[in-house]
Amino acid sequence: MTEMMSLITEDGSAPAYSGGLSDEALLRCYRTMLLVRAFDDICMKLQRSGRIGFSVPNKGVEGTQVGAASALRSTDLFFPSYRDFGMALYHGVRPAAMMNNMFGNAGDSAKGRQMPVHFSFVDPIKYFSISSPIGTHLPQAVGAAYASTLRGEDTVTLVSFGDGGTSSLGFHSGLNFAGVWKSPVIFLCQNNGWAISCPSEGQTASDGYAIKAKAYGMPGITVDGNDVLAVNQAVAEAAERARRGEGPTLIEAHTYRMGGHSTSDDPTKYVPKEELEAWAAKDPVLRLRRHLDSRGLWSEDLEARLVKECSEEVTAAVREAEAQPAPALETVFSDVYESVPDHLRRQGEQAFDLARRKGDAAAGDGAFPL
């Protein structure tokens, strides 16, 4: 493994941190991480009680998400993975907007068409529509960055993927193109130890993932993914290089998935208990709390207040999402193309007619409006 950058020390201080996060920004990072945890937690409960169908645990990886997001501008482009709640929340996506996706309701920005955790936002940040097929978004990010460059913008594109994602075809073509084009792209590989049940050793024989950058002609950096400051600094440096026209960077963030792969997974079948315990001690929230404390920015009172606020915010998000109806039937047929072709219009009319006869036309279906 290339040498791992880690900045928050045992006692919470971070003398080597040279990044630009102000006290206020640090507190925002911390609050966002607590918000991710609250959001994650309530989604697990909603799934267990059958109110939503699916979720993916984010516990343990919040440091990487928030460290990276906080190093970028809200005008930069995000090509996230499904396990990146903190990137959206840091930049001000409302928990309720995300919760609407979890419920797949009429308020969902993707109209309830996708599974939970497959977010898509254009506001307040460009958070590219998430696809399930792993690795497809890497070359797409490189293309988006090409467009930014061609227009003379100094936008940076961040693409986030897992250790498993490095085995995809898109990893190779994405890094290869970005190297050749000197694209302003940051490839953020979140090595969280597992790709479902496949440990990192089963994914690659190379000594870590950052080293793969060499073959594509770009710098590769390994960073302590549970250290918000280290991730922030690594991403900030990569962003500066990108904005200077010096090309892409591959960053491997060493972190850990502290839950199962998803609500459909039982990690006790394959994750060694000791491994989980060892990583629990390196919890990114604890690490940042220690740092804030060392700077006099943290107190028990603050903690209690933030936890309460975050919990209220996600509870309100659930209430808002549950008040939304299911999407209207026409959403099955719209957005396939910009305008609805005749054959789809006919299929839609038949579907609506049948729904009405069966009595399961929902509120909002109305006359078929295509």
Partner 1 sequence: MATLTLLQAVNDALRTKMRQDDSVLVFGEDVGPKGGVFLATEGLTAEFGAKRCFDTPLSEDGIIGTAIGMAANGLRPVCEIQFQDFIFPAFDQIVSEAAKLRYRSGGQYTAPMVIRTPYGGGIRGGLYHSQSGEAYFAHTAGLKVVIPSTPYDAKGLLIAAIEDPDPVLFMEPKALYRSVKGEVPEGHYTVDLSTTRTVREGKDVTVFCYGAMVPVCEKAAAAAAEQGVETHVVDLRTLLPLDEEAVLDAARRTGRVVVVHEAPRFCGFGAEISALIAEHAIEYMEAPVRRVTGFDTPFPNTLEHHYMPDERRVLDAIEATASF
- Name the residues that contact partner 1, by CB under 8 A: 53-54, 104-105, 112-115, 118, 131-135, 164-165, 167-169, 195-198, 202-204, 264-265, 269-270, 326-327, 329, 331-333, 336, 343-344, 347-348, 351, 354-355, 358
Interface of this chain with Mg ion, residues 233 to 252, rule: CB under 5 A? none
Looking only at the bridges linking them, the beta strands covering 4-5 and 77-79 are unpaired
196 vs 355, beta carbon nearer ligand TPP: 196
**Residue 167 binding target from Mg ion, partner 1, ligand TPP, none, CB below 5 to 8 Å by type:** partner 1
- Closest residue to Mg ion, judged by C-beta, is 162
Beta bridge partners of 254: 191, 224
Beta bridge partners of 78: 127, 158
Interface of this chain with ligand TPP, residues 183 to 222, rule: CB under 6 A? 192, 194-196
209 vs 216, beta carbon nearer ligand TPP: 209
Beta strands in the chain (DSSP E): 4-5, 77-79, 126-127, 157-162, 185-191, 194-195, 198-199, 220-224, 249-254
Q: Are 291 and 14 in contact (CB under 8 A)?
A: yes
Binding mask 60-89 for ligand TPP (x = CB under 6 A): ---------------------x-x------
Site membership for Mg ion, residue 168 (CB under 5 A): no
Residue 227 Cβ, how far from Mg ion at the closest point, in Å?
18
Site membership for ligand TPP, residue 283 (CB under 6 A): no
Looking only at the bridges linking them, the beta strands covering 126-127 and 77-79 are parallel
User: Which one of the listed residues 137, 261, 287, 289 is annotated catalytic?
Assistant: 261
Question: For residues 43 and 55, what is the distance between their CA atoms, to the nearest angstrom?
Answer: 6
Site membership for ligand TPP, residue 91 (CB under 6 A): no
Q: Which of 261, 282, 289, 291 binds ligand TPP (CB under 6 A)?
A: 261
Told to judge if 209 belongs to the known catalytic residues of this protein, a careful annotator would answer: no
Site membership for Mg ion, residue 162 (CB under 5 A): yes
151 vs 343, beta carbon nearer partner 1: 343
Residues whose CB falls within 8 Å of the CB of residue 77, separated by 6 or more in sequence, listed in order = 126, 128, 141, 144, 145, 148, 155, 156, 157, 158
Question: For residues 119 and 103, what is the distance between their CA atoms, to the nearest angstrom?
Answer: 12
Site membership for ligand TPP, residue 36 (CB under 6 A): no
User: Which one of the listed residues 257, 287, 289, 291 is annotated catalytic?
Assistant: 257
Q: Helix, strand, coil: what percent of the chain each, to 5?
A: 45, 10, 45
**Amino acid found at 354:** L
Tokens of 234: 């690594």
175 vs 195, beta carbon nearer ligand TPP: 195
User: Which one of the listed residues 270, 295, 305, 346 is annotated catalytic?
Assistant: 270
| Dihedral in degrees, nearest 10, Cα atoms 236, 237, 242, 244 | 110
Tokens of 348: 């839609």
Residue 49 Cβ, how far from ligand TPP at the closest point, in Å?
24
Give residues in contact with Mg ion (CB under 5 A).
162-163, 192, 195
**Annotated active-site positions, please?**
257, 261, 270
